[in-house]
Structure 1
Amino acid sequence: MTNQTRVASVQELESVFQQELATDRWAAAETAYALAVRHRDADDWEKSREWVKQTLQLLEGFPAETEEQVATQRTSVGGVDLPNYLHEGVVRSRFGDLG
């Protein structure tokens, strides 16, 4: 999946996530966030909750004191727009009780 703006299937995103988890944990956090959004938008609340938790777990390993530290590296993943900044507060505000 080289085109980050194309709408990818959930299976494609999960495959990308697994690759990123081994090589780029920040990218994996962005992809986990995208998967949480995709499942939420499909009304699959349980899967969305799982991906929210995965996103939050990954974000725990990164500093979050400055905007530069929490700025997303991509504008979208698999057709899901990412927020400009990705940190626990953003995830919890976007997903509410799912977080």
Structure 2
Amino acid sequence: MANPHAGEVALVIDGQPHSLKLTLGALAELEVQMGEDTIVDLVRRFEGGACSSRDVMALIVAGLRGGGWRGTAADLLSAEIAGGPVGAAQAAAELLARAFLPPGS
């Protein structure tokens, strides 16, 4: 079960519940994966409604990895994500927001 007070977001993938969290290591991995983009650029895209499916996938993978998952983005290409693309985008946005909220917010 995900703990929102710890920055975690719940997401069901292929019928299995997962807790996603953007740890410092997951954020660093995300920055490397995004190349020249920064986390601030990613936040701006989500806030402006201009995020891509690549952004959503990168956040989901980083959150899964921060939650202890050892898979890769390729493992999710044919996965069934609860809520489909909209559910994935909502989880990614929530994950990003929780990662940068001050404790107790």
Bigger relative contact order (CA 8 A; separation at least 6): 2
Structure whose residues are more often strand by fraction: 2
**Per the shorter chain, which TM-score range?**
under 0.3
Structure with the bigger percentage of helix: 1
| Normalised TM-score (structure 2) | 0.26
